[in-house]
C-alpha cells in the first residue's frame, strides 16, 4: 500500500530518483540536499510534478517544458531538455524539430529560431554519440 503521508525526506528521495530519470546525467544532482534550501525544494518539486502528475507521461511533461522554454526563447534551458528528450527516447530528432515548427506561429520567429538552432546542435551532438557532458552555467 502506498504511503499517503510521505515525510519530507521521502519526498526528497523520490524527487532525486525522478530527477535522475528526467535528466540521466545531462544535469547532475546537487552535491548536497538542504531540505529547506533551493536543492531540497527542487527535489520536492521533482517529486510533486515530474513524478506526481500521473495524467501525463514523461514525454508529455517534456513537451510542456519545451513549449514553455520555446515561448521565452530560452535556448539555454531548451537545449538541456531537448538533449534529455533525445537521450531518454522520449522523441526523435524529427519530432523535436516538429515541436519547434509547431510553436513558430504562436511564439514568433526570434524565439523559435534560437531554439531551432539549439535543436540542431543537440541533434548533432546526440547522433554523433558524444557522451553526456553536463552544462556549465
Which of the four pLDDT bands, split at 50, 70 and 90, describes residue 1? very low
Across 15-37, average pLDDT: 94
CA nearest neighbour of 42 among 65, 21, 16: 16
| DSSP designation for 72 | T
Q: What is the CA radius of gyration of the chain?
A: 16
Cell (9 digits) for 77: 534551458
Which ranges constitute the DSSP H helices of the chain? 8-23, 38-45, 58-71, 75-87, 93-107, 109-127
> pLDDT digits over 41-84, tens only?
999 999 999 999 999 999 999 999 999 999 999 999 999 999 99
Angle between helices 109-127 and 75-87 (to 10 degrees): 40
Quick check: 136 pLDDT over 70? Answer: no
Amino acid at each position: 500500500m502506498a504511503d499517503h503521508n510521505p515525510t519530507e525526506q521521502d519526498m526528497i528521495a523520490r524527487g532525486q530518483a525522478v530527477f535522475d530519470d528526467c535528466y540521466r546525467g545531462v544535469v547532475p544532482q546537487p552535491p548536497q540536499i538542504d531540505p529547506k534550501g533551493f536543492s531540497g525544494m527542487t527535489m520536492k518539486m521533482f517529486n510533486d510534478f515530474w513524478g506526481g502528475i500521473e495524467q501525463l507521461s514523461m514525454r508529455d511533461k517534456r513537451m510542456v517544458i519545451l513549449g514553455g522554454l520555446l515561448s521565452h526563447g530560452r535556448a539555454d534551458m531548451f537545449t538541456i531538455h531537448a538533449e534529455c528528450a533525445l537521450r531518454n527516447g522520449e522523441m526523435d530528432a524529427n519530432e523535436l524539430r516538429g515541436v519547434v515548427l509547431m510553436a513558430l506561429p504562436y511564439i514568433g520567429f526570434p524565439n523559435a529560431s534560437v531554439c531551432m538552432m539549439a535543436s540542431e546542435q543537440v541533434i548533432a551532438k546526440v547522433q554523433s554519440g558524444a557522451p553526456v557532458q553536463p552544462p556549465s552555467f
